[in-house]
């Protein structure tokens, strides 16, 4: 039986990142069965407005499809920062994100959020783990999220399944849009999301973790791409995105879109080299 802990308030992310860095060594074992939850969480209207602006979503009474991730993320970090978690948080790379938008979430709703870890899997370059989230309102699940993280060099437990980090898309040759992604994109998204991972904030702090420059948050790239399809997304949808090459800041990138099976395939690529930063699918559910 999974142990479920209900937190009274959102965990402090900067403190968690610090604690996780200090306790990075000597981790191992299997995933904990712990579930962290918060109940009756109101949406911060100012945060939702700032988030919409930074990602390019229109401001409406319905939350952007990616927004509930912001409520789940601090709980997921708390789970990963806990010494019982087998992988070290610093150095984890977000490689895939799936969202099931079961029904549109009103910005005025009070939300119950629950997160857990599962699917410890073997990857050619290490091990992956999925951090899952379920968001409900009034006892009805309205949103599900699954973030797959890769721990390079880590070892999955014996008998672990193979990691599944591939998302297939059609050829996306036509450029729907071109964006200049400014140097402060990471800082802007950190401010509205609370994800203050140093690899996103500045060249200096990113270099400390082995990146030549700051890189954009994968969740920002995903949100920005979905925002470009505002008004065209199914009300209830399954979103599945794979993060490929890091998007160094600043950059100019292109968005490719194609209508597929009543939804969309999309890709965000570097405008110069064509390197893929993100590929994804959106399907009606």
Contacting residues toward another protein, per CB under 8 A: 174-180, 228-229, 232, 257, 259, 264
The 276-284 sheet, strands edge to edge: 4-6, 35-42, 110-123, 126-137, 140-152, 93-101, 237-243, 276-284, 263-270, 251-260, 175-181
Phi/psi of residue 217, nearest 5 degrees: -60, 130
For residue 250, say if its preceding peptide bond is cis, omega within 30 degrees of 0: yes
* Smallest distance from another protein to CB 199, Å: 22
User: Considering beta carbons, is residue 193 or 257 the nearer one to another protein?
Assistant: 257
* Smallest distance from another protein to CB 252, Å: 8
SS3 277: strand
* Smallest distance from another protein to CB 176, Å: 5
* Contact present, 128 and 149 (Cβ < 8 Å): yes
User: Considering beta carbons, is residue 36 or 223 the nearer one to another protein?
Assistant: 223
User: Considering beta carbons, is residue 16 or 255 the nearer one to another protein?
Assistant: 255
Q: How many CB atoms lie within 10 A of CB 22?
A: 10
The helix (H) or strand (E) run that includes residue 246 is none
* Contact present, 279 and 167 (Cβ < 8 Å): yes
* Contact present, 227 and 56 (Cβ < 8 Å): yes
* Smallest distance from another protein to CB 257, Å: 5
* Smallest distance from another protein to CB 188, Å: 9
Tell me how far apart the alpha carbons of residues 253 and 205 are, in angstroms, rounded to a whole number: 23
User: Considering beta carbons, is residue 134 or 185 the nearer one to another protein?
Assistant: 185
* Smallest distance from another protein to CB 272, Å: 11
User: Considering beta carbons, is residue 140 or 273 the nearer one to another protein?
Assistant: 273
* Smallest distance from another protein to CB 231, Å: 10
User: Considering beta carbons, is residue 53 or 125 the nearer one to another protein?
Assistant: 53
Tell me how far apart the alpha carbons of residues 151 and 13 are, in angstroms, rounded to a whole number: 20
User: Considering beta carbons, is residue 108 or 178 the nearer one to another protein?
Assistant: 178
Tell me how far apart the alpha carbons of residues 27 and 237 are, in angstroms, rounded to a whole number: 37
* Contact present, 26 and 116 (Cβ < 8 Å): no
* Contact present, 223 and 50 (Cβ < 8 Å): no
**Helix runs in the chain, H state only:** 13-22, 45-55, 68-81, 185-193, 203-207, 218-227
User: Considering beta carbons, is residue 93 or 275 the nearer one to another protein?
Assistant: 275
* Smallest distance from another protein to CB 275, Å: 17
């Amino acid at each position: 039986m999974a142990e479920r802990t209900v937190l009274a308030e959102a965990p402090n992310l900067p403190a968690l990142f610090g604690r996780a860095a200090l306790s990075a060594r000597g981790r191992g074992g299997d995933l904990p069965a712990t579930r962290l939850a918060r109940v009756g969480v109101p949406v911060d209207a100012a945060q939702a407005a700032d988030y919409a602006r930074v990602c390019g979503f229109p401001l409406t009474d319905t939350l952007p499809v990616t927004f509930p991730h912001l409520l789940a993320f601090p709980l997921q970090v708390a789970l990963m920062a806990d010494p019982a978690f087998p992988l070290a948080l610093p150095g984890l790379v977000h490689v895939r994100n799936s969202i099931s938008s079961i029904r549109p979430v009103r910005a005025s709703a009070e939300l119950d959020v629950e997160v857990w870890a599962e699917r410890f899997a073997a990857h050619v370059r290490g091990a992956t783990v999925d951090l899952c989230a379920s968001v409900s309102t009034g006892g009805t699940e309205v949103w599900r999220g699954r973030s797959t993280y890769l721990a390079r060099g880590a070892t999955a437990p014996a008998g672990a399944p193979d990691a599944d980090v591939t998302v297939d898309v059609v050829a996306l040759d036509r450029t729907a849009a071109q964006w200049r992604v400014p140097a402060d994109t990471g800082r802007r998204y950190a401010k509205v999301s609370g994800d203050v991972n140093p690899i996103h904030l500045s060249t200096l702090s990113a270099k400390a973790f082995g990146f030549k420059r700051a890189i954009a948050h994968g969740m920002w790239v995903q949100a920005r791409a979905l925002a470009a399809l505002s008004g065209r997304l199914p009300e209830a949808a399954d979103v599945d995105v794979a993060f490929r090459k890091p998007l160094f800041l600043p950059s100019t990138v292109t968005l490719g879109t194609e209508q597929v099976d009543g939804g969309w395939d999309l890709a965000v690529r570097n405008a110069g080299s064509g390197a893929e930063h993100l590929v994804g699918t959106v399907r009606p559910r």
